[in-house]
Chains A and B, each alone.
Chain A
Amino acid sequence: MSPLAVLRAIVIAAVLTPAAAVAHGATPQKVIETIEIAAPPAKVWAVVGDFQDMGWLPGIVKTEGEGGVTPEIAKRRLFLAGGAVIDERLVQYDDAAMSLRYIIEHVDFAVLPVGNLSATLKVSPASSGGSVVEWKSRFYRAFPGGNPPEQYTDEVAIKAVSELFRSGLAGLKARVERE
């Protein structure tokens, strides 16, 4: 299911599963996605580095937040089409390295079936003269115990995050190259 379809599914189902608990399981997962963008790194970072506006991620209708780009202070709430929200906190911000790291503080499992997600977005110069954006993450499946139900397995979590990142990077590329 695409991230957009996941978002739509919430609206249709209108059933909210329990919120992501603090507890997490024994096996963290990795996802790394990259994309090349035909624009200089500074131009890409101007979009990616604005923690208070994640409008480039398809499915996000509004970003509300506070604290600018100050690590551990900056927070944002992403409003998804359909009404669900994701709460995130900035934990690292390096303007010179064009890199930031955030964590998800709260997300409904119906939106994204993961726990304890942290993710890094980094913009680097590409050999072609444009930019490479890398989006990588560490997270756990939604179900912390052994033998998870089929909607909360490692595979489901990895697929959801991979699709979200791919969709986001494609959205970022389209927006920056259009500008």
Chain B
Amino acid sequence: MSLRALAVVFIVLLPPVRAASADEAFIPNQSSGDLTIVDLGAMTPGVTLPIGGKPAGIAVTPDGARAYVTSPEGHFVSVIDAIARRVVKQIAVGGQPFGVAVSPDGRRLYVADMNGRELLEISPETEKTRRVEIGATPSGVAVTPDGRLIIAAARDDNALVLIEAETFARVATIAVGRHPYGVTIDAQGRHAYTANVESDDVSIIDLAERKLIATAPVGSHPYGVALARGRAFVANQYAETVSVFDTATLAPLATIKVGEYPESVGVSRDGATIYVTNWFSNELWSIDAESYKIMGKAATGDGPRAFGAFVRAAD
């Protein structure tokens, strides 16, 4: 056999090598009151940081420098130095801070007060705060990639509320399904997706037109949505599955069986891997975005919520 033929054989026989991931997951564990940092390349848990106050919501700055965790029962937001792995400070905000998002420049935090009807804008440096009325049970929060628009779910009003970042004023309220929870915006900033817990579907909003353009049925009790490769991946808490549908045609593509009570779902920066937290079984699972195969499982603390965009760029 020639060397060249041998090389071909080797190439064929070698298992596909996945690009080394420098992504991490920052997973707040609500029951154990801490945060697990998971190396997503190896799918192994690393450092655990004590947080307190039943941590639930997570946001990470695009440069990977800072993470922010809400503690609804402690009424504070923790500011975390993601590189040094330490809590820098905890900002007392009152109420029940829950969903959280951070502006692309990292200078503004947007925090939903679940029991207080408001969205808060907080400067993590100065702690200066502005407030805007959202409605009943503010839950998920997301910001467009250009930082101009914030979208918050008013869960018990069955609506998404659009807020202009500059003025921090409401500019639109859009009726969606029953009990919208997690909110995810696509990379182009064109569409927002929200999982409707009580109506078992996903509402898709055109952000320029400011209107509902489609509704996709998913499984029982959807919580979170991740977007990758023209597909939406939706964690269904009661069905214990991830529903996959084509975002252009809304055609259902797959139903992936996952762990117990899946809630939050994220995606690697290269779009190749989906991550889902399983709240009851205390695990983060990774799923191949093309084959839909379960690739790995990492242990977390007790009751991983990770409500928000929990994937951090570590390089």
Chain A positions near chain B (C-beta within 8 angstroms): 22-23, 25-30, 72, 91-92, 101, 103, 118, 136, 138, 144-146
Q: State whether B30 touches A92 (Cβ < 8 A).
A: no
Q: State whether A136 touches B73 (Cβ < 8 A).
A: no
**Residues from chain B with Cβ under 8 Å of A145 in the complex:** 96, 115
Q: State whether A118 touches B114 (Cβ < 8 A).
A: no
* Size of interface on B: residues with Cβ below 8 Å to A: 23
Q: State whether A136 touches B54 (Cβ < 8 A).
A: no
Q: Which of B30, B98, B136, B280 lies at the interface centre, i.e. has the most chain A CB atoms within 10 A of its CB?
A: B280
Q: State whether A146 touches B95 (Cβ < 8 A).
A: yes
Look across to chain A and name the residue whose beta carbon is closest to the beta carbon of B240: A92
Chain B positions near chain A (C-beta within 8 angstroms): 30-31, 54, 56, 72-73, 75, 95-96, 98, 114-115, 136-137, 156, 220, 238-239, 261, 279-280, 302-303
> 3 tightest CB-CB pairs across the interface, nearest first?
A26-B72, A145-B115, A27-B54
Q: State whether B56 touches A26 (Cβ < 8 A).
A: yes
Look across to chain A and name the residue whose beta carbon is closest to the beta carbon of B155: A23
Least CB distance from A179 to B in Å reads 31
Q: State whether B303 touches A30 (Cβ < 8 A).
A: yes
Dominant SS at the B interface? Answer: loop
Q: State whether A101 touches B31 (Cβ < 8 A).
A: no
Q: With A23-B156, A26-B96, A146-B96 given, is the CB distance from A92 to B238 under 8 Å?
A: yes
Least CB distance from B275 to A in Å reads 20
**Residues from chain B with Cβ under 8 Å of A136 in the complex:** 280
**Residues from chain A with Cβ under 8 Å of B156 in the complex:** 22-23
CA A118 – CA B238 in complex, angstroms? 9
**Residues from chain B with Cβ under 8 Å of A72 in the complex:** 220
Look across to chain B and name the residue whose beta carbon is closest to the beta carbon of A136: B280
**Residues from chain B with Cβ under 8 Å of A29 in the complex:** 31
CA A116 – CA B9 in complex, angstroms? 57
**Residues from chain B with Cβ under 8 Å of A26 in the complex:** 54, 56, 72-73, 96, 98, 114-115
**Residues from chain A with Cβ under 8 Å of B98 in the complex:** 26
**Residues from chain B with Cβ under 8 Å of A22 in the complex:** 156
Least CB distance from B159 to A in Å reads 15
**Residues from chain B with Cβ under 8 Å of A146 in the complex:** 72-73, 75, 95-96, 115
**Residues from chain A with Cβ under 8 Å of B261 in the complex:** 138
**Residues from chain B with Cβ under 8 Å of A27 in the complex:** 30, 54, 56, 72-73
Look across to chain B and name the residue whose beta carbon is closest to the beta carbon of A71: B220
Q: Which of A25, A91, A118 lies at the interface centre, i.e. has the most chain B CB atoms within 10 A of its CB?
A: A25
Least CB distance from A145 to B in Å reads 4
**Residues from chain A with Cβ under 8 Å of B54 in the complex:** 26-27
Look across to chain B and name the residue whose beta carbon is closest to the beta carbon of A22: B156
**Residues from chain A with Cβ under 8 Å of B220 in the complex:** 72, 91
Q: State whether A30 touches B137 (Cβ < 8 A).
A: no
**Residues from chain B with Cβ under 8 Å of A118 in the complex:** 238
Q: State whether B96 touches A25 (Cβ < 8 A).
A: yes
CA A144 – CA B114 in complex, angstroms? 10
Look across to chain B and name the residue whose beta carbon is closest to the beta carbon of A27: B54
Q: State whether B73 touches A30 (Cβ < 8 A).
A: no
20 pairs of residues in contact across A and B, judged by CB atoms under 8 Å:
A23-B136, A23-B137, A23-B156, A25-B72, A25-B114, A26-B54, A26-B114, A27-B54, A28-B30, A29-B31, A30-B302, A91-B220, A91-B238, A92-B238, A101-B238, A103-B238, A118-B238, A138-B280, A144-B115, A145-B96
